[in-house]
Amino acid sequence: MKRVLITGSNSGIGRSTAILLAAQGYEVYAAMRDLDKATKLLDGAAAANTQVKPIVLDVNDDASVRDAVASIETDHGPLDILINNAGIALNAAVEDVDIEVGKGVFETNFWGIIRCTQAVLPAMREQGSGHIVNISSVAGRIAAIGQVVYSASKWAVEAMSENLAQEVAPFGVRVSIIEPGVTRTAILPKNMGHPEPTAYAAPYRRMLQFYARGVMANTPAEEVAEVIHGALEDPAPKLRYPCAWGGDELCEGRSRLDDADWVRLGACKTDEEYYAAFETCFGLDIRTPDE
């Protein structure tokens, strides 16, 4: 039975993945900062006739990460899989960024992954096997308008994951990057605001319209969990796994788009002009039906 540690397991993709993997026979350690928030996770696991093991872990705290991993390894043996899922979002254009708040996003989204990865790698190297799965985003492949800090943190995750994949390959350790588009999780309602007053009303409006259209697609967290499970079991493993609403279209579309076209997209004067250009670039109509 493979042992897996999943950060941010109290909600969304983390919770769905913990329940799915437990049901598939994995020994799941479901990490979160506050075990009082494990109720829905435990209820979901019981409904699936399986069990998960909640564990306290704050990805922003060196000692918390170190102690959680050490307790698993001491009591149960080395971890086979780490799924770095914990993350937070932030809406802000560059001029509007509150730098201290932005640092907090990087603390969780980037340094949190580094902390957890550093904690599990010694045992994985020693056993000559392991799998580290980093939950990125389509915002790690495309500069998400109005979300410079969040997007930059996910670009950093992508770069770090590419580095890591080469660094650990000689030790038999795999790396996978999951790149969800818009997914129905708790992070969406928590991240609907933006700085005001601002000169960047149009970028924020267009960004929120993109998410509103994605929410209409109603992609559940369970769909991303299935992709994560597929990556763990993939007989022909890849480095990247785009998924959920807009995942494939945005990742593939940005790779085809030249820099001049990218800048022209931002220069659109009206929302309708922007939505039409966006559809041309990515094949996604982000207008809502009543428009």
Q: Count CB neighbours of 262 within 10 A.
A: 13
Exposure string for 142-163, b = 16+ CB within 10 A, e = fewer: bebbbbbbbbbbbbbbbebbee
> 63-95 pLDDT, tens per residue?
999 999 999 999 999 999 999 999 999 999 999
In this predicted model, what pLDDT tens digit does every residue of 204-232 receive, in sequence order? 999 999 999 999 999 999 999 999 999 99
pLDDT digits (tens, 9 = 90+) for 219-277: 999 999 999 999 999 999 999 999 999 999 999 999 999 999 999 999 999 999 999 99
Q: How far apart are CA 258 and CA 280, in angstroms?
A: 13
The residues carrying an active-site annotation are 136, 150, 154
Give percent above pLDDT 70 in the chain: 97
Encoded tokens for 240: 């990247």
pLDDT recorded at residue 235: 95
Q: Which residues pair with 182 in a beta bridge?
A: 245
Q: pLDDT tens for residues 10-28?
A: 999 999 999 999 999 999 9
pLDDT of residue 193: 81
CA 162 to chain centre: 16
Give the residue-averaged pLDDT of 181-193: 73
One-letter amino acid at 288 equals T
Mean pLDDT for the stretch of residues 17-43: 97
Residue 263 inside a domain? The answer is: no
For residue 185, the model assigns a pLDDT of: 76
Distance CA 234, CA 232 (A): 6
Mean pLDDT of 176-186: 91
Reported as a pLDDT band with limits 50, 70 and 90, residue 184 is: confident
The pTM score is 0.95
Sign, Cα dihedral of 247, 80, 170, 68: positive
Q: Is residue 152 within 8 Å of residue 113, measured between CB atoms?
A: no
Helices 221-233 and 12-23, packing angle to 10 deg: 50
How many domains does the chain divide into?
1
42 located within any domain: yes
Asked if the structure places residue 7 within a domain, the reply is yes
Q: Does residue 10 form part of some domain?
A: yes
Residue 33 has pLDDT above 80, yes or no: yes
Confirm whether 279 is domain-assigned: no
pLDDT in tens, 114-138: 999 999 999 999 999 999 999 999 9
pLDDT at 61 over 70: yes
User: What does the chain come to in residues?
Assistant: 291
Asked if residue 102 belongs to a domain, the reply is yes
For residue 174, give every residue at least 6 positions away whose Cβ sits within 8 Å of its Cβ, in sequence order, or none. 130, 131, 132, 165, 168, 237
Domain annotation covers residue 280: no
CATH of the domain at 129: 3.40.50.720
Q: Is the pLDDT of residue 291 over 90?
A: no
Supply the pLDDT for residue 92.
97
> Residue 154: inside a domain, yes or no?
yes
pLDDT, position 190: 58
Q: How far is residue 187's CA from residue 119's CA, in Å, rounded to a whole number?
A: 26
- Per-residue pLDDT band for 176 (boundaries 50, 70, 90) equals very high
pLDDT score recorded for residue 290: 67
Domain carrying residue 98: 3-190+218-255
pLDDT in tens, 139-155: 999 999 999 999 999 99
